Amino acid sequence: MQAFTLHDGLVMPLDRANVDTDALIPKQFIKSIERTGFGPNLFDEWRYLDRGEPGQDPSERRPDPAFPMNQARYTGASILLARENFGCGSSREHAVWALENAGFRAVVAPTFADIFYGNCFKNGVLPITLDAACIDEMFRRVTVRPGWRASIDLMAQTLTTPEGDVFEFRVDAHRKRALSEGLDDIALTLAEAPHIRAYEQRRRVSEPWLFQD
């Protein structure tokens, strides 16, 4: 998992509330359990005018020019600005995989669905919760100013705008450490491998009948 400490990136707005995981990555694309290849189908039903199918060449499809991802001013955006209850719906982890595959390192919204919020930290994407009034102002600025960016400092837990405004956000200490070190759940477990092996050795001595070699 890619670590996250400092990030400066172009902001793309998605001015819709209650964006669910089926909108993030439609069901026909989640048959694979690999974590790669989902980026071209992020927001598929909004991003394209025709229905997409697995294995289809994105270059042969009809993009919707009204959708932000298809507008030149947001090319290369890595911070997604969203509305409340982002990531609701099913618990599919593919939704975060698609965001990460498409180059997004952070999502900024007033509220997130709980499971989606947790999945972000497990896959190198930082979900930032800010007050709705702050979000409203950010939407206003990104709309009127092409090339609007933001700088994020995870350790300081701040988001800084080009105008110099600094917004503070909260992150659980355990999740902050894991994301800053690029550790997913498996890596966190493996980091405790010496303690796990020592425990198993003690069990072999104290309760040998539990082990069949």
Per-residue pLDDT reduced to its tens digit, 53-104 = 888 898 899 999 999 999 999 999 999 999 999 999 988 999 999 999 999 9
Alpha-helical runs (H) found in the chain: 21-24, 44-47, 94-101, 114-121, 132-144, 173-181, 185-190, 193-206
Do the domain assignments include residue 206?
no
pLDDT band at 8 (very low <50, low <70, confident <90, very high): very high
Q: What is the pTM of this model?
A: 0.88
Do the domain assignments include residue 40?
yes
Do the domain assignments include residue 189?
no
Do the domain assignments include residue 151?
yes
Number of domains in the chain: 1
